[in-house]
A and B are shown apart, each in its own frame.
Chain A
Amino acid sequence: MRLLVIEDDATLRESLAAKLEENGFAVEQAADGKEGLYFALEYPIDLAVVDLGLPEMSGLDIIREARRKGKAFPILILTARDRWEDKVDGLDAGADDYVVKPFQFEEVIARVNALLRRSGGWASSVMNAGPVTLDMSRQELVVNDEPVDLTSFEYKIIEYLMVRAGQVISKTELTERLYDQDYERDSNVIEVFIGRLRKKMDPDNTIKPIETLRGRGYRFALERGETA
């Protein structure tokens, strides 16, 4: 998944981006409000982390503008003041959750995961569909009670598909959202990864978790289960 981090403090922004990348996200960084808004509007983004106190353009204005332009991705605000007046203003403008500085990275990552899940319509932190269970906080995939050993890119694909279970995801979308930089990578690579994923998750070809829709893309096909 591709995240956007808008934060003017370089140390904080880069550490946060590094931490998020460690957790399997592709991260765009913006150092001021204007750049941030440009990224938010023009880049394929799954979630934005927005600092409220930014040069050039305030975080609140970015959120309002992005929402006005119809951007629906979840937004997590970083606020320095933990007065409710500021939090409510942020939530009112269109943010979905807040983290108060100075935060623990684990907290930011937990919130990011929760927001991404929520945006895919999952209520619980552990997503479960039939025999397949994915725990985002642990980056762990379990099929038929057996943990599946995945590479980081394979994990990114299954997480992306499973969060949006039931939706058709094009190869382009997958490349855009999962690669760090190079959007032009050959889409055949995706096919290869999907093939490997199918083999690892469903060696006997009985569950059929990932469906291919010719010319349109892929879909995580299992019924969403009860929340764990």
Chain B
Amino acid sequence: MSSLSARLLISVSILLLFFFGVTGVVLDTAFRKAGEQAREDVLEGHLMAILAAAEPSDNGDLVMPPDLQESRFSAIGSGLYAEIRDSGGNTVWLSRSALGLAIPFGLVSQDGSRLFREESFADGTPLLTLSIAVQWEFPDGELRPYIFKVAESLDSYNAQVAQFRQQLFGWFGAVAVIMLIAIGVLLGSLLRPLRQIETQIGEIESGSRQSLAGEFPTELQGVARNMNILIDSERARSERYKQTLANLAHSLKTPLAAMRALISQTRRLKQADRFNEQIDRMDEIVRYQLRKPAASSGSLMSVVPVAQEIDRLIEGLTKVYHDKEPEIRADIADGAQFRGDKGDFLEVSGNLLDNACKWCARRVLIAVQPDAAGLVLSVSDDGPGIPDDAADALLQRGTRLDESTPGHGIGLAVVKDIVRSYGGDLTIGESELGGAEIRVTLPAA
């Protein structure tokens, strides 16, 4: 669970479930308690009414008036029933409403106390019953025991409870969903600055942005500021690294050049050659070590405007190859950009163009097209071309120093190293101009 929003939403959901669940159970219990109390009071009232209505008859029995005050006793199947039994368990009186129904008469009160019970008809209809045993004093002074029992169907009450529950949990559910949606929306707006920072850091890495900018909330301003400081120092570090390399190259190569100068003044030619050989070796090592592609040093990338840099290269090469006057044509896709290190890009296109100028008869073409991953750059010339076996040898040649030779070789080895460090590829083929075509793919770093 790595997402903050997911974490928050899940914990809030659990909390809401717990809160509404407990509240629901408490409310439900309270509602039922109150309902039951009310039912019992009502039932007791009915029992009292029946007791009050009973009259001793002349033949020593209890009789009930034909019409009771409570009309539901008279309506068949009304849900309110009453029965009077004598001590032998024989029904003395049964309310008209209970016509055809047998009121369960299992456990009843045995003394003057009231006994509430939940029972049910044979068909399962739940009932709340109240029974009372009384000693009825007849006019002749005789005491006869009777059991009075009233029963009320719980169907409507249960339906009421069910409806209450449905409403209660329906509302709770709706409120919970609304709260979750509200929290989700709130989270979205709270986390937007964080997402903004994330996007901007991505842009900085790929070079299309220099620093974090925008209206950040107070809590994040410090983060953004420190982030910018970090980015600046990283950029400065990478700049210093380049500068150090340049200084190192200068301070190593100048003495080498000076040594060569001194050697050229000696008359011992054999020794001079051997010294020069050693100088060449040192030079190659320095060159190789200082040429490592920037992509592999993990520095921040930038966006290189391809057309502009290639124009500079062509302008420079036109000067260098002034005598040869090669006709260099560039076919660059509009707005083509390279995401990576500018030095690396110049190294790749510079070496390829330099080789092409070196080998061409007259014409050189550099074409750059964007593709899904980055750029496809191809350089063609109308020179002698590179035979297949030589091409294989050039490509199979590793980066080992002693195997690099001047000409197409060393430049291509460097280009290949850089292209590989970006995860791209280099192929050698035949160009439409008649000579060699070197094609490299340069995915964004």
Q: Is B323 an interface residue (CB 8 A)?
A: yes
Residues in B neighbouring A82, C-beta threshold 8 A: 287
Given the known interface contacts A80-B246, A83-B346, the answer about A104 and B260 at a Cβ–Cβ threshold of 8 Å is yes
User: How far in angstroms is the closest Cβ of chain A from B102?
Assistant: 106
Q: Say whether chain B's binding surface is mostly helix, strand, loop, or mixed.
A: helix
Is B236 an interface residue when CB atoms closer than 8 A count as contact? no
Contact among B245, B265, B312, B316 for A81, CB-based, below 8 A: B245
Stretch at the interface among A8-16, A137-145, A193-201: A8-16
Residue from B247, B259, B320, B347 in contact with A98 in the complex, judged by beta carbons closer than 8 Å: B320
Q: Contacts A9-B258, A82-B287, A103-B257 given: A15-B264 contact, CB under 8 Å? A: yes
Does A11 contact B262, Cβ atoms closer than 8 Å?
yes
Q: Count A-side interface residues using an 8 Å CB cutoff.
A: 38
B254 within 8 A of A: yes
Is B283's CB within 8 Å of the partner chain A? yes
Tell me the residues in window 163-190 of chain A with beta carbons closer than 8 Å to chain B beta carbons.
none
Among B242-289, those with CB < 8 Å from A are 245-247, 249-262, 264-265, 279, 283, 287
Taking the complex as formed, is B350 at the interface, i.e. its CB lies under 8 A from any CB of chain A?
Answer: yes
Interface residues contributed by chain B, number (CB under 8 Å): 42
Which of chain A's residues 12-52 have a Cβ closer than 8 Å to chain B? 12, 15-16, 18-19, 51-52
A92 in contact with B261 given A80-B246, A102-B253 (CB within 8 Å): no
Instruction: Say how far A51's CB is from chain B's closest CB, in angstroms.
Output: 8
> Given that A53-B246, A53-B250 are contacting pairs, would A11 and B261 also be in contact in the complex, using a CB cutoff of 8 Å?
yes
Q: How far is the CB of A175 from chain B (nearest CB, A)?
A: 30
In whole angstroms, how far apart are the Cα atoms of A201 and B134 in the complex? 163
Q: Does B319 contact A (CB under 8 A)?
A: yes
B interface list, Cβ under 8 A from A? 245-247, 249-262, 264-265, 279, 283, 287, 290-291, 309, 312-313, 315-316, 319-320, 322-323, 325, 342-343, 346-347, 349-351, 354
10 tightest Cβ-Cβ pairs between the two chains A and B: A84-B350, A15-B261, A91-B316, A53-B250, A102-B256, A102-B257, A101-B253, A11-B258, A80-B250, A12-B258
Ordered by A's residue number, 11 sampled pairs between the chains whose C-beta atoms are within 8 Å are: A15-B262, A51-B254, A83-B290, A84-B343, A84-B347, A84-B349, A88-B309, A102-B257, A102-B260, A102-B283, A123-B323
Apart from A101-B254, A114-B323, list 8 A-B contacts with CB within 8 A. Answer: A11-B262, A15-B262, A16-B261, A80-B249, A80-B251, A81-B290, A105-B261, A125-B323
